[in-house]
Amino acid sequence: MKSDCSSYFPSIFQGFSKSIGTPRTIPPYRRSCGVTVWCSPLSDAFRLFLNMTSNQYEEIQKKFSGTWRVDRNELFEEFLAEVGVNYLIRKMASRSKPTSDITVDLQDETITITLNSTFMKKMSSFRLNEEYEEDFQGNKTKAIATFEDGKLTISNKPLSDTVKPTTAVREIIDTGDLLVTMQVGDVVCKRYWKRVT
């Protein structure tokens, strides 16, 4: 698949359009996802964007990579109720101590988060600032992940109007724990995870 730079990176090139100049055909910059992007001469702004993205993945790997185990929850059962999880599963989930594996592939620029519990296993792989599809309780959602100020944020927008959108923000707090703050509607849940490895 072939694309023009300005359409493939619209938000970036909007701000840098004046510095790019008149497009000319040069050898393509090929991304790991298989999309070939034909660019005008690489401006300093575009090179800066590529470096910034790589640095973000390196920072995420340094901060979050490893295995984590839930230590305590705040309003987790209320959060599950708000997203439509049934009573029995809510009770099981609120009492369980799942682990979460977070890995970052720097070559492919892919982040993978795996949740392991006694009654379910869920894995999500994604790239920053690229929309991807998720499945939650049988409901399809469109998700996008961003990284800013040391926080990894994933926003989920359900395809069905009957399901509420959610956000999950991951950050490392002063104790070295991983804090995941999840919000749906007016309910804000906090889950604290201890590092295992």
Q: How many domains does the chain have?
A: 2
Same domain for 87 and 23, yes or no, is no
Asked whether the beta carbons of 180 and 170 are under 8 A apart, the reply is yes
- Can you tell me which residue has the tokens 């002063």? 174
170-187 pLDDT, tens digit per residue, is 999 999 999 999 999 999
CATH number at residue 86: 2.40.128.20
Residue 185 within a domain? yes
What one-character-per-residue DSSP string does 131-178 give? -EEEEETTEEEEEEEEEETTEEEEEEEESSTTS--EEEEEEE-TTSPE
Q: Which of 29, 128, 18, 110 lies closest to 5 in space, CA to CA?
A: 29
Mean pLDDT of 132-156: 93
Mean pLDDT of 71-99: 94
Buried b / exposed e across 9-18, counting CB within 10 Å, b at 16+? beebbeebee
Instruction: Return the DSSP state at 34.
Output: S
Residue 182 within a domain? yes
Same domain for 26 and 108, yes or no, is no
Same domain for 26 and 65, yes or no, is no
pTM, full prediction: 0.75
Same domain for 6 and 65, yes or no, is no
Residue 48 within a domain? no
Q: Which of 178, 184, 190 lies closest to 99 in space, CA to CA?
A: 178
What was the pLDDT predicted at 119?
Answer: 80
Q: With bands split at pLDDT 50, 70 and 90, how would you rate the model's confidence at 5? A: very low
CB atoms within 10 A of CB 130: 11
Same domain for 35 and 80, yes or no, is no
Same domain for 74 and 22, yes or no, is no
Same domain for 86 and 161, yes or no, is yes
The answer on pLDDT for 10 being more than 70 is: no
Residue 86 within a domain? yes
Same domain for 67 and 24, yes or no, is no
Mean of per-residue pLDDT scores for the chain: 82
Identify which has the larger pLDDT, 17 or 165. 165
Same domain for 38 and 65, yes or no, is no
Range of the domain at 137: 61-195
Residue 55 within a domain? no
Residue 35 within a domain? yes
Asked whether the beta carbons of 107 and 98 are under 8 A apart, the reply is no
Same domain for 17 and 98, yes or no, is no
* Pairing mode of beta strands 66-74, 99-105: antiparallel
Same domain for 124 and 172, yes or no, is yes
Residue 49 within a domain? no
Mean pLDDT of 102-130: 95
Residue 47 within a domain? no
- Rounded Cα gap, residues 118 and 138, in angstroms: 19
Same domain for 68 and 124, yes or no, is yes
